[in-house]
Amino acid sequence: MNNETKLAPAMQAAATEIYLIDADTLLLVDVNQAARQNLGHDLARLNAMTPLDLAPALDRAELEGLLASLGPEVGAQVSLATRFLRADGSRYPIKLCFLRILRDGRSLFLAIGDDQSLAHAASTALQQYQARFNAVVDHTPGLVYQFVLHPDGSSAFPYLSEGCGALLGLSVSELQQDPTRFPELILPEDGKSYQDAMLASKANGSAWNWEGRIRINDTWNDVKWINLRATPSPLDGGGMQWDGIMTNITASKLEQEETRRSRARLAELTEHIEQVKEQERTRIAREIHDDLGGNLTAIKMALAMLAARLPQEKVLQEKADYLDSLVDRTIEAVHRISLDLRPSTLDLGIVAALEWQAREFEKQMGIACVVRIDGAADGQEIEGELDPDRASALFRIFQEALTNIAKHAHATRVTVTLRRQRQHLTLSICDNGRGITPADRVKPHSFGLRGMSERARALGGTLNLSPAPGGGTMVVVKIRLQSELTRA
């Protein structure tokens, strides 16, 4: 092999595989160092081989036809992709570019080979990644999507998973061709919150989280609740892209609504039961006071008349005195039971009832109890705006709060404040005891606190427990006055 039929030094040193091929026999005339190292053959072995030996899968007629297409002109080129066989039996993908050249009147082909192993491996890895991504997306409940908002206000969905049809009733192509069809699905009453959430996410760069309703079939009025969660990424030129997922949350929303209705019905039932209990207590208290109290008074009077006519015998006088004392104790018990069932002071209004209960608590428990009535809540000003049932419920909350203080607080002083603040009436009960702990709030049998909270809720108000200034516990009940409820 003379120098004219050898590769130039620059080609010999090139990192790309380069082959010099005889145009008539297709034998490899010369092969550069990069090709020899990749194939694992020495030059002597390669000189006895053709491209067909290196690429067993390549058809001779196909190769010859491809090379013939170059024609006689020097400089024309054609390409093909195949797989070369190494000396160790391994194969690798290669892309060959053939050029016709002349050397000393000899017709040759120059083949430049590009090893495609790395590109092929990257392509295979990308395909595997894409397959895994598609598998995850296809098994994700809902719709995985990309949404772009352009600076001019137009929008686009560059990517939509196949869940689009099931969730939105639109195919991927339909929504990509006309992105405005998505906001058209949103119910008018939820449209503003959708726009506000999107613009807030764009302005702040924060996550876009929105829940709302869409109607995907006007004929059947098929309404769904969807949750949209997406992460924003700014685009060049002032646009914004969100990557996220939409899911169907109709079932959970219906469950929440049913739970809300159940709680509302339970609250109504609780309120009704409390009203019935209060009415029954009032009835029993009045019957005890009127019937038993009247009968006991008549018995005492009759007993006094009989005692006056008894012979002056010590034993008989002692028996008469004992019966008179027993009747007195029974009258006191009837009076006490009647007051426990329903204090008669409630008929005089909530202010009088609170003051009476505070005095009774102080007398029975030995704990100082101070009641403060703000000027706006004093006198008859609020009595016409607080019907008997609501006054009784507020009074029972007060009683339960005092009971809890007596049982658990170890307090020496209780301060009660009744305050009117425009349309609300606020009752605060503050003690200087040991305070309430988080564990006390969640005790399984803490029915007192639950009962107070339920009564406040039934009144359309709130009940809050918090540490009192300087130690202890503060219970604050806030309800709306009846006149305001009527206007509302």
Q: Residue 139 has what pLDDT?
A: 67
Report pLDDT for 438. Answer: 67
CATH code, domain carrying 149? 3.30.450.20
Residue showing tokens 């009436």: 425
- Residue 431 resides in a domain: yes
Residue 38 reports pLDDT greater than 90? yes
Which range among 28-42, 219-233, 395-409 has the greatest average pLDDT?
A: 28-42
Residues 6+ apart with CB under 8 A from 472: 409, 411, 430, 431, 432, 433, 434, 435
> How far apart, in whole angstroms, are the C-alpha atoms of residue 416 and residue 244?
54
CA distance 324 to 396: 35
In this prediction, residue 485 carries a pLDDT of: 45
| DSSP states along 310-362 | S-S-HHHHHHHHHHHHHHHHHHHHHHHHHHHH--GGGGG-HHHHHHHHHHHHH
List pLDDT tens digits, range 142-195: 899 999 999 999 999 999 988 888 899 899 999 999 999 999 999 999 999 999
- State whether 275 and 323 are in the same domain: yes
In angstroms, what CA-CA distances link 354 with 3, 236, 342, 343, 373? 120, 69, 13, 10, 10
What amino acid is encoded at 143 in this protein? L
Total of domains in the chain: 4
Give the separation between CA 417 and CA 482, rounded to whole angstroms: 20
Q: Are residues 396 and 459 in the same domain?
A: yes
Percent of the chain with pLDDT over 70: 91
Residue 440 pLDDT grade (very low, low, confident, very high; cuts 50, 70, 90)? low
Residue 369 gets the label, from left (phi > 0), alpha (psi -120 to 50) or beta, of beta
Q: Mean pLDDT in the chain?
A: 85
Residue 195's Cα: distance from chain center in Å?
20
Asked if residue 352 and residue 482 are part of one domain, the reply reads yes
Same domain, 97 and 14: yes
Q: Which residue has the higher pLDDT, 239 or 391?
A: 239
Q: Residue 148, exposed/middle/buried by CB under 10 A (0-12, 13-18, 19+)?
A: middle
The model's pLDDT over 229-246, given as tens digits with 9 standing for 90+, comes to 999 999 988 899 999 999
113 and 241 in a single domain? The answer is no
Are 20 and 110 in contact, with CB atoms under 8 Å apart?
yes
Residue entry with tokens 């006309």: 178
User: Do residue 427 and residue 475 come from a single domain?
Assistant: yes
Domain extent at residue 241: 140-248
Q: Is residue 156 part of a domain?
A: yes
Kind and range of the H or E run holding 69 = none
The answer as to whether 126 is a domain residue is: no
Mean pLDDT, to the nearest integer, of 461-486?
80
In a domain? residue 135: no
pLDDT at 141 over 80: no
Side chain identity at residue 158, one-letter code: P
Tell me whether residue 478 is in a domain: yes
Residue-wise pLDDT for 305-325, tens only, equals 888 888 888 888 888 888 888
pLDDT at 375: 60
Whether residues 36 and 18 fall in one domain: yes
Asked which of 291, 306, 341 is the last residue of a domain, the reply is: 341
Tens of pLDDT, residues 316-352: 888 888 888 898 888 888 878 877 777 777 778 888 8
Measured CA to CA, the distance from residue 152 to residue 164 in angstroms comes to: 26
pTM over 0.75, yes/no: no
Has residue 315 been placed in a domain?
yes
Task: Give whole-number Cα distances, 314 to 191, 325, 345, in Å.
Answer: 95, 16, 43
pLDDT reported for residue 431: 93
Is the pLDDT at 376 greater than 70? The verdict is no
Q: Are residues 369 and 481 in the same domain?
A: yes
Residue 222 lies in a domain: yes
For 52-78, the pLDDT digits (tens) are 999 999 999 999 899 988 887 777 889
**pLDDT at residue 379, as a whole number:** 47
- Tell me phi and psi for residue 386, to 5 degrees: -130, 100
320-330 burial, b if ≥16 CB within 10 A, otherwise e?
A: beeeeeebeeb
Residue among 223, 224, 243, 226 nearest 234 (CA): 243
CB 81 within 8 A of CB 114: no
**pLDDT at residue 377 is higher than 60:** no
For 284-306, how does the pLDDT look when each residue is reduced to its tens digit (9 = 90+)?
877 787 788 788 888 888 888 88
